Amino acid sequence: MKKIILLMLIIFSFNGIAQEKSNKTFTLAVKGNCEQCKKRIENSADIKGVKLCIWDEEKQSVTITYRTDKVTPEEIEKAIAESGHDAGNSKAKTGNYEKLPACCKYRDNKCEDSKK
């Protein structure tokens, strides 16, 4: 009985280690202007497999931690682009970009919201 318990503990500990290795972090260029953009970008990346997404306004990039067995960087990039923000090699469709509030029109390089 002791051998079975020991064997099960070893198997579970290796299983836990393998899961840790499936997490990766990468940085992706994402355009935006303000706090509204930050919320939209981070929320759009909240898809299955994404553990953490933080957008940095100054660097115009997101840092994303994700599970490699659940999602790919390309899928995350496309999800962000669907929200109206250019992300890496995925450009937001004009229609999605046009739906952004005036403050968030980053292609104009200005934020019309005085609160920015």
Q: Tell me the domain boundaries of the chain.
A: 23-108
Counts for the chain of helices (H) and strands (E), in that order? 4, 3
User: Per residue in 40-83, pLDDT tens?
Assistant: 999 999 999 999 999 999 999 999 999 999 999 999 999 999 99
What is the rounded radius of gyration, in angstroms, for the C-alpha atoms of the chain? 19
- Give the whole-angstrom CA distance, residue 54 versus residue 98: 24
* C-alpha angle 10-15-21 in degrees, rounded to nearest 5: 130
- pLDDT, one tens digit per residue, over 9-47 is 666 666 555 545 699 999 999 999 999 999 999 999 999
Assigned CATH for 23-108: 3.30.70.100
97-113 confidence digits (pLDDT tens): 999 999 899 988 766 55
Mean of the per-residue pLDDT values of the chain: 86
In this predicted structure, the answer to whether residue 8 has a pLDDT above a threshold of 50 is: yes
